[in-house]
Structure 1
Amino acid sequence: MEKMRADARRNRAKVLAAAEEAFAVDGLAVPLDDIARLAGVGAGTVYRHFPSKEALFQAVVLERIQQFADEARDLAEAEEPGEVFFDYFVRVIHQASLNRAICDALAESSGHAFKAGAGDDFRAGFARLLERAQAAGAVRRDIDGDDLRALIVGCLAVERYTPGSAHLVRVVVDGLRASAAQGDVA
């Protein structure tokens, strides 16, 4: 019986990895049969773990969002809070821009990624980094977590529709700096 559970865990991990790869390219348009083929398992195995493509998509997205949240939590007490915040902001945009599924999930204003636990963890972790950067005088004080989410979505749209336009993300980052806010007391 233990062997079956280990096999099931391995198969689930293979399906998640294949789905992340497939969703990154095609978003929800990818057929489940293609994911099963990519994972090296049968379609029945995919359905046994995930009753629908939407459930699989949600699992993939939430796993990636949780990774972002874990990273933010790990950085919460790092030295140089301003530098850490800006590096993290750019890294989230870069990593998410490589994955259409993550872009789609982050762009949904009522999407599951920001309502589920992983989304809450991500928001809280990012807010903590923001608060520390603001307290250090590195980030303008008139920005909050909702503003950050909107800026991420905007930057992802820029990256998605004009790939390689990192300079536009830098413009946004520069606009977040406390020095960019006239009258903002750091």
Structure 2
Amino acid sequence: MSAPARRPDAAQNRTRIVEAARAALAESNQVHLNEIAKRAGVGQGTLYRNFPNREALLAEVYRRDVEELVTAASALLAEHEPAEALRHWLDRVIDYAEIKRGVLAALEPSAWQDLVAYSHNPIEGALGHLLDAGKAAGSIRADVDAYGVLLLIAYLGRLDGDEWESTARPLMNVILDGLSRQDADR
């Protein structure tokens, strides 16, 4: 049985709360619910009706980011050549990973392990879709798969927060260069 539909204003409140939490996570791992309620322009009662605790709110931020990342793969392929779509998608992965770091740092280990398990298959599927399109177009190496690329990307999580901004995107460019199909005469 599905959940009852939310009133439009209630759905907007929920969205504003999640967006405020995401913005707060981009600034700091220290996320306080009263600050998020103020940022979202809602009372604490509204926040707690939507999210009974901090973990529920952070989990929703994480889930929405995963959904947006997965949905973006097809949308980017509709707008760009496969290699360029992959580049744009991996750029979004960097943004997603930065928020993911904040969410995981703010949650108890058991809660974040469930979230990571939730996100793995959809993200691997979206990346596989992008890689398959690139292989079919001849721009992506035939000997790579989504699982292997995710292993490479996962190492970005080892970066310290202070080196993230200067290091994550250049390393992602190295990964992209490695995925590109090389001419036979090189």
The one-letter code matched in structure 1 to 2:18 is L
1:17 offset after TM fit, Å? 1.5
Task: Give the corresponding residue for 2:3.
Answer: none
Deviation at 1:78, TM superposition (A): 5.6
User: Deviation of residue 65 (structure 1)?
Assistant: 1.6
Deviations 1:97-131 (A, max 9, x none): 5xx43245699994515515xx5443322211111
2:118 corresponding residue in structure 1: 115
CA RMSD of aligned residues (A): 3.2
Match of 1:95 in 2: 95
Asked if 1:130 is matched to 2:131, the reply is yes
Contact 2:69 2:89 in 1 (8 A): no
- One-letter amino acid matched to 1:178: R
After TM superposition, the structure 1 stretch with the greater mean CA deviation from structure 2, 167-176 or 127-136, is 167-176
How far the C-alpha of 1:22 sits from its partner, in A, is: 0.9
> SS at the partner of 1:69?
helix
**Structure 2 equivalent of residue 8 of structure 1:** 10
Residue 178 (str. 1) matches residue 176 (str. 2)? no
More deviation, 124-133/135-144:
135-144
Look up the match of 1:58: 59
TM-score by length of 1: 0.74
1:46 Cα deviation after fit: 1.0
Residue 141 of structure 1 deviates from its aligned partner by 2.8
Name stretches of at least 5 consecutive residues in structure 2 with no aligned partner.
Answer: 1-5
Say if 1:157 and 1:134 are closer, same or farther in 2 by CA, change over 3 A: farther
Gaps of 5+ in 1: 182-186
TM-score normalised by length of structure 2: 0.74
Seen in structure 2, the aligned counterparts of structure 1 residues 7 and 79 have a Cα distance that, compared at 3 Å, is closer
* Contact 1:24–1:102, Cα closer than 8 Å, also in 2: no
Give the direction of change, closer, same or farther, for the CA distance of 1:145–1:161 in structure 2 (3 Å limit). farther
Which range moved further: 140-149 or 31-40? 140-149
1:22 paired with 2:24, answer: yes
- How far is the alpha carbon of 1:34 from its aligned partner? 1.6
SS at match of 2:166: coil
Equivalence for 1:184: none
Aligned residues: 172
The one-character-per-residue Cα deviations of 1:68-93 (angstroms, maximum 9, x if unpaired) are 1111122345663223223322x223
The percent identity for this pair of structures is: 29
Shifted more, 73-82 versus 16-25: the winner is: 73-82
Partner of 2:139, secondary structure, is coil
